[in-house]
Structure 1
Amino acid sequence: MTIKPLVILPDSQLRLVSAPVASVTDEIRRLADDMLETMYEAPGIGLAAIQVGVPVRLVTIDVSREEDARVPQVFLNPEIVWSSEERSKYEEGCLSIPDYYEEVERPSKVKVRYRDLAFAEQEVDADGILATCLQHEIDHLNGVLFIDHISKLKRDRVVRKFAKLAKEKERG
C-alpha cells in the first residue's frame, strides 16, 4: 500500500465530477487500499478518490473511534437515494482543506446505494457521523466541497487563504 499525496485547495481537480467505476479491477482494489492507508495516515475519517487525484466514484470511510478496532468501508458509485427532512449540524473538516473546520448543516439520516468491492449492490441506512461523512464524500464525487455549504463570506475567506498559501509554496 502507498500513501498518496492529497490534492489541496485551491487545486481545480477538486471541482471535477468523478466518473463511475465500471468494474472492480486490481487497479481499483489497489486504489481503495492506498486511499485507506492515506486516510489513516492523514488522519481522517473519509476520503474520495478525487482527493488523491483520481476522478472515479470511489470513497473510503472509517468512523470508528480511535480507541476501537478499525472498521474500513469502501463505497463504489455511492448515491444518496433518500435523505431525512430532519437536519443535524456537525463540525466538518476536510483533508483537502487542512486545519479548517466549520459547522455544516445536513440531513441527519440518509440511505445510500453503492457497490462493494465484489461489485455487489448494497444499501446502507446511516445517521450521525456516518451520514455526515457519506454526504461530505459523495459531495466530493460531484465537485462540491463542504465550504460550499457555509456562508459566502467564510468560503471566500478560506479560498483566499489557501490560494495565498499555494502561491507562497510555488515561490518556494
Structure 2
Amino acid sequence: MKKVKKIISVLSISVALLFTGIANAEVKIGVIDVMTVLQNMPQRETVGQALNKEFEAREKSLREEEKKASDAAARLKKDGLTLSSSEKTKLNKTISDFENKAQAFSTDYRKRESEEVGKLLAKIQEAVKDIVTTEKYDIILKAEATLSASDAVDITSKVLEKVKK
C-alpha cells in the first residue's frame, strides 16, 4: 500500500514538473482569417470565370426551358378549368422537367464550385504550412475560432501574399 502511494506521488510530481516546463516555454501563435484570404485570392476570380464558361451552355438552355415552364404555368392558371386532362398533364410535365433540370444544374454547379474551392483551400493550407515552417509557429488558429486576437498574431496578409505567388 505504501509503495502504491509512493508511486502515485512520484508520478504526480513528475506530471506537475512536466506541465511547469511546458507552461514556461514560449509558444508562438498565429491567427488566420481563411475567408478573407479565400475572397481576396486572385485565383478565385479565375475559378469563377472558368465555372461560368463551363456551365454557360447549360444555363442558356435552362433559361429557354424556364420560359417554356413559365408559359405552361401561366396557361394552366388561366385555362386550367377548360383544358383537357392530357393537355394539363403535358403542361405539368413541362414544368416538372424544368424544375428537375434546374435542381440538377444547381447541384452540379455547387459540386464543381466546392471542388474548386477545395483546391484553393489546399493552396491556403500549403501557404500556412510554409509560414509555420519558416517562421517557427507552434499553433495557427482560425480567426473564427478566436474570441479576440491582436494584429501582432494575425498572419492573414502573409498567407494572402504567399497564395498570390
Report the TM range for the smaller structure's normalisation. under 0.3
Q: When the two structures are superposed, what TM-score results if normalisation uses the length of structure 2?
A: 0.20
Task: State which structure, 1 or 2, has the greater radius of gyration over its C-alpha atoms.
Answer: 2
Q: When the two structures are superposed, what TM-score results if normalisation uses the length of structure 1?
A: 0.20
Greater strand share, structure number: 1
Greater helix share, structure number: 2
Give the structure, 1 or 2, with the largest relative contact order (CA under 8 Å, sep 6 or more).
2
